[in-house]
Amino acid sequence: MRAGPQPESLVLRRRPLAQPDFARKGSLTVLGLLNSAVAAYYYLRLLVAMYFRDPADGAGAVEPLTPAFRMALILPAVGTLVLGIFPSWVLDFASKSAALLK
């Protein structure tokens, strides 16, 4: 048995998103469709700029990272790994802290 949502249930129980709500809340449906169109335009433009256009002059030069910026990248990565591998540490600390507040 797996934890979390089962991938099969997400595929088999999918219903059309826009059809039932359009009769009741047509404006929200139209707003959601427009938002999806804007997002698609944005990400397609980004893909075209990344993969289909030639780089500008001097685009390959990268400055070395400062120590502060390097730490700003490393600390959240380490925190994410610790929270992902050892979540019980944080949950135990949170439950003990909540018990102290009572």
What is the value of pTM for the model shown? 0.42
Q: CA-CA distances (angstroms) from residue 34 to 24, 31, 41, 77, 78? A: 18, 5, 11, 35, 38
Over residues 22-45, the mean pLDDT reads 84
Check whether 51 has a pLDDT greater than 80: yes
What mean pLDDT value characterizes the chain?
81
Q: From the centroid of its chain, how far is CA 11?
A: 20
